[in-house]
Structure 1
């Protein structure tokens, strides 16, 4: 099941250990994709390393044979080890750090090799793209996809500007859903765990005929929340979510296949920061000390269904999220003797509202900093892709055309400084007062054409050459508010108009034309070992500071550009019992988009705005290893060594050094050392009629910055997860009991007025049935 939700059951992190130990590119137990028409390469009887077929180069290939740094998660590991969602997957990908956006549990903020962003506004794009069934998901504010009936997940590290396009300077997370089966069947899973967390998932395959296959899936989640509000007694950071998905596969002929899907998901919940003590913390390098897991506001939770501003003012309550999401897709594949033509079409619509009080330690609910936002996004995309082989297979190529249109709308109101009622925040600039109720609409159109070819120059030596041309146009419009009126304000109403922005000399249209090339060489040393080198370019779109309270701060910023140079090897050794993969990389990003201090005349006050801050260089070594001497025992160790530095920055005169990014500033979310290790062992127990398994995993991150200006750091992180499983011999049912974060590791994920906490320790029991 595909869901726009937060789904963090405790077994997921621990299961990751075994997952990484069983994935392609450092992972085993992999299965080939049904669409690829290839079977997994079996291991010999002494070990259990296998292959997974991926589409990281937009065609089915064995992950161990492509010159791409990709971590792939197979259907078997997702199914058997209860891998839950995108944010859980990313925890174990080398050079990757991910958390939820501050205050928004449906939004994942991915950082790969130091590139990422923490804003969800449509005028600021993420540099790590999310794809579902080859369809780009443009908006980050609901990208935490949960996995149920997922065929595989591929995380591609580094720019993917040729085949995946814009907004992939950091990388891409590609999710491929399982297609309907040609056999009747059903599976059900339920869990119960800490903080009253209950999950239920069901999927049913119903083949109508040999040529018409269907699959129906649903889920439900209830979580009471792990954050205690000591003022109201309520629990926060929980959720209630549910959703439905249907898939239809039409096998029109042996050459023509049509896949259709539709889904609806609804998520409600909170993600709130912890209260703090007015004492500096050396552990977190903050001016205050977080108190885990407590909040102190007198604001109570409520429903966010409807207009968040009206809800806040009429009920006096907030701390809520309501996100409703609709999606539909069609994938038409026509296989001919000359090649395969695919048409990939997708539509997504989202209606989201939230009220968040970011002042978690301020007891007076009226005095805190409160955002009440209403967001509407819809997108349509279409792609025609042709893949083929020539010269008896020595030349393979993929080419295509692509189009995407987005329509985004945002209403954001800020409240602060009240004593007995909510007071709309105001800003005075150039002698004019502005009420902070900003409204905009944005239209984005992008079109592209791409081509990538692999040519075997001589036996076992292959050259890759590709490029993508992208044309993009963005238009932005602002509107005054009709619900807050004051004769003293600009236009007598809150907010401002497009005319006000243009009067400040700021254009509200951007057009970008980019060519993003890729070149690579790979050499097959033997059937189980390759070495490769590559140079790849990518770009992230420009945008605006679209949520600012005054028109002259709606500053545009330029596209972010990255060149990445990589070299590596992939190998299966000792009869496919040992897998060693490694990648070294050097990336240089110019016009890096970050949020930092700036003074915008006529104001004399420092504002934190998204801008092009300078040039960032990152480099490092990533590895994924797995040893499986038997089919029942495996161990893994993987991780990365990373370094990041600002080579140059753009300084603003008059802004204090502490409010600016400088060359001495530590880049965001670049831990110098990451490592994950673990072991999995299964043993048959005849008396129980099945297998009993035990797994243990350890994950370590060295400290890393979670605030752009280095005002907060995650501490040294050490996570321990354990899991005990039972699988009946007939494969019809099983159960497990596990604990994540056994040692109660406390960490922070973001710093925006409040400090936002990572997950606490969780215990979870699970049962599953196949019919």
Structure 2
């Protein structure tokens, strides 16, 4: 019943689907609600937004819905796959912890994860907010539908989010016995099994148990370990109990456990490009000095030679209690939850088979508790409302470590120290990082019908956030030449003991590479968000709306280390916090249906400006791996989207969705420079620099990238597809053929656009063909049917060597799926 109550709150803002419009029915009816209906011929989405049946076409916000059946047949069994069906959605992941979800180009800064900031796209499972995107990378288990909301959220539910939200609803317990089984097999030894069973224990208590297990051989071969990496090894279990002690009260207790270890997310040789370092300090010369060559210079050979251990195990789980109490004119909903995430990585951070950075990892443990209470009127009045309160508390503990190997000196340093392996060999940083985050908010939204056609919907949210953290890095080295332990307390004394000469230069090179530091940042602030929507029904099938939203993303704290001060004896404490983002969002939309609602065409245009955008930067030190957070003055994302579908008959359906997104830095004058301008001798701000790629040239301390495109954003993206079926056997059986495709134009894969890290546009095609009858479905599928070679990410190797490494997307896969419901 909670799943239905969530729709009461959320689906009132639905728009037509970004895929073929689906039949979305409420999963469990409240005792006093009017039952909604759906038209299978037109594919209308019917929701119970105000405890009455409403067509999703009539409610004013950009929202796409993908049903569970659509997810299963297209193979979109996780968030990464989901983006192929949602043109406005972007998902990036160099590993599960370093993952980000963006909508319309906004949400999280591109680059390595920094625990101390909020995510701009909220992620929810059955109404429970997931505090880390890394904890969202599980396989979908028994999913009923996925909703993708675009634009600022927070006046109706949950956490304040400035770019949008993804809400996953699972199938609830049923008082009618049922079971579902699905089994898939394919190339790369792919095997996936899903099963669920549900039914009553008494006339007031029902259970549902669901599980999913996936295995697949890796697509990348490591010649050193003789292992296949980028595999799939996932297990998920979920249980729910629904208790309805009275006709007006229901409670759902749920718990889930997920474990994954894909040995994933390696990046390796993609290409090289010239930087400002001396020619002898660039990748080709450095590799030649060690007599090194990668096993292949074609990344789509999918062959690597790691010289360090790799691991990417994560464990995700939690429990939630959801209560719905029908009070007559309104419904009171409570969502209480506890969740955890345990991340256990190992990485080869230099990406090649040389011992440069042999360890760079941040095992992390997150725990969170949340409580939400909402009161929503049933929607039978001229003035309807939703009011609520939300509390969230999160802790993260991280145990970081980084170790340099015998090749690090030559790759990361210059001068005489570059020729001495012992300068950096064994240099180790041990980091202790903690984060405490509390958030509290009250929110409300009205729906006021001024006339039968004209509605105004104001909303407001008052939010308080408090963040505190601790970061300490202890640096040590012990080899035949060097032996010391440097902390934030003794680094100045150790440097003073080396007042001049080579010893001082060497020690500075060591502590600049891995800096001893300790700091305890704090941030707290109140903010108020608001939105105002006006909607008008031009006809029964043509609806327009306009929205303005003023939103905030909480300020944050830097928890990946800070840049050093001018004397290299301490950190620049002015950089330990970042200011909140301030968002002004404008949107207009039109929703239309024609030809007896067989054709749906919806469009929206948006303009979003963000002040003090939270971005990842660095101080251009060539031997520093991680950057830190800072504020860009202004960012703008603008564009338009459309969703369209056509169902001329029960036999044939076709859809096309698209987005144009122009997301740029409007003012960012102190940004990190692209790799082609890095690695040279430093110049003062505004000083003379040499042309890009000038070996031994001068590099600016930072760059002005105002007007350039944000990373990860394609200007054009589309999803499209069709399905055709024929009756066979005369008893409801069908054979069918389906196609789903998507296209993304080229996008930048570096925080500052670089000629070396543009990812070319690509299109992917998935096909399926099968037979279905009643609850039986048997179909074969091919994904990436034309074996398109493309990158998901490109990155630079630390040290400004000019090496560009990449993470290729999946090759062509194919297989067979059989599913049956009982």
TM over 0.5: yes
Supply the distance in 2 between the matched residues of 1:548 and 1:345 (Cα, whole angstroms).
34
**1:358 positional shift:** 3.1
1:759 maps to 810
1:644 maps to 663
More off after superposition, 161-170 vs 457-466: 161-170
- TM-score, with length taken from structure 2: 0.80
Residue deviations 1:661-705, cap 9 Å, x none?
A: 511422122212112221101111118972111011231111111
1:313 maps to none
Q: Against the structure 1 CA distance between its residues 157 and 48, is the aligned structure 2 distance closer, same or farther, given a 3 Å change threshold?
A: same
2:382 maps to 394
- Match of residue 407, structure 1, among 363, 371, 395: 395
Q: Against the structure 1 CA distance between its residues 480 and 356, is the aligned structure 2 distance closer, same or farther, given a 3 Å change threshold?
A: closer
Supply the distance in 2 between the matched residues of 1:683 and 1:291 (Cα, whole angstroms).
43
Supply the distance in 1 between the matched residues of 2:665 and 2:16 (Cα, whole angstroms).
34
Residue deviations 1:434-469, cap 9 Å, x none?
A: 952221111111110001001011221000101100
Supply the distance in 2 between the matched residues of 1:265 and 1:670 (Cα, whole angstroms).
30
More off after superposition, 117-126 vs 524-533: 117-126
**1:147 positional shift:** 2.3
Alignment of 1:363-512 (within 5 A): 363-364=353-354, 366-368=355-357, 370-389=359-378, 393-418=381-406, 435-479=428-472, 487-490=484-487, 501-502=518-519, 508-512=521-525
1:304 maps to none
Root-mean-square deviation (CA, aligned residues, Å) is 3.5
Q: Against the structure 1 CA distance between its residues 229 and 58, is the aligned structure 2 distance closer, same or farther, given a 3 Å change threshold?
A: farther
- Match of residue 94, structure 1, among 78, 87, 95: 87
**1:359 positional shift:** 2.9
Give yes or no for contact 2:473–2:518 (8 Å, CA) kept in 1. no
Alignment of 1:505-520 (within 5 A): 508-520=521-533
- Match of residue 246, structure 2, among 247, 253, 276: 253
2:600 maps to 579
Give yes or no for contact 1:107–1:144 (8 Å, CA) kept in 2. no
- TM-score, with length taken from structure 1: 0.85
Q: Against the structure 1 CA distance between its residues 483 and 210, is the aligned structure 2 distance closer, same or farther, given a 3 Å change threshold?
A: farther
Supply the distance in 1 between the matched residues of 2:321 and 2:53 (Cα, whole angstroms).
19
Q: Against the structure 1 CA distance between its residues 574 and 689, is the aligned structure 2 distance closer, same or farther, given a 3 Å change threshold?
A: closer
More off after superposition, 187-196 vs 657-666: 657-666
- Match of residue 654, structure 1, among 682, 685, 705: 685
**2:665 pairs with 1:620:** no
Report how many residues are paired.
707
Residue deviations 1:145-173, cap 9 Å, x none?
A: 43232122110111114234655221111
Q: Against the structure 1 CA distance between its residues 60 and 669, is the aligned structure 2 distance closer, same or farther, given a 3 Å change threshold?
A: farther
Residue deviations 1:212-248, cap 9 Å, x none?
A: 0000111211111111224443211013121211100
Give yes or no for contact 2:220–2:304 (8 Å, CA) kept in 1. no
Residue deviations 1:519-540, cap 9 Å, x none?
A: 0000112222210000112222
**1:415 positional shift:** 2.2
* 3-state SS, counterpart of residue 146 of structure 1: coil
1:537 maps to 550
* 3-state SS, counterpart of residue 114 of structure 1: coil
* 3-state SS, counterpart of residue 405 of structure 1: strand
**2:116 pairs with 1:123:** yes
**2:350 pairs with 1:359:** yes
1:679 maps to 722
**1:274 positional shift:** 4.4
- Match of residue 737, structure 2, among 683, 686, 694: 694
Give yes or no for contact 2:548–2:585 (8 Å, CA) kept in 1. yes
1:296 maps to 304
1:319 maps to 310
**1:123 positional shift:** 1.3
Alignment of 1:332-343 (within 5 A): 332-343=323-334
**1:624 positional shift:** 0.3
**1:294 positional shift:** 2.2
2:293 maps to none
More off after superposition, 374-383 vs 29-38: 29-38
Q: Against the structure 1 CA distance between its residues 599 and 658, is the aligned structure 2 distance closer, same or farther, given a 3 Å change threshold?
A: closer
Large movers: runs of 4+ above 6 Å: 57-60, 286-289, 482-485, 492-496, 603-607
More off after superposition, 248-257 vs 507-516: 507-516
* 3-state SS, counterpart of residue 357 of structure 1: coil
1:186 maps to 179
**1:116 positional shift:** 3.1
Supply the distance in 2 between the matched residues of 1:556 and 1:276 (Cα, whole angstroms).
35
Segments of structure 2 that go 5 or more residues without pairing to the other structure are 1-14, 275-281, 285-296, 418-425, 492-509, 565-569, 672-683, 687-698, 798-804
More off after superposition, 634-643 vs 688-697: 688-697
**2:320 pairs with 1:329:** yes
Supply the distance in 2 between the matched residues of 1:280 and 1:605 (Cα, whole angstroms).
19
More off after superposition, 459-468 vs 643-652: 643-652
Segments of structure 1 that go 5 or more residues without pairing to the other structure are 1-21, 300-316
* 3-state SS, counterpart of residue 81 of structure 2: helix
- Match of residue 745, structure 1, among 760, 783, 788: 788
Residue deviations 1:88-110, cap 9 Å, x none?
A: 222222322223x21x1476422
- Match of residue 592, structure 1, among 613, 629, 646: 613
* 3-state SS, counterpart of residue 467 of structure 2: strand
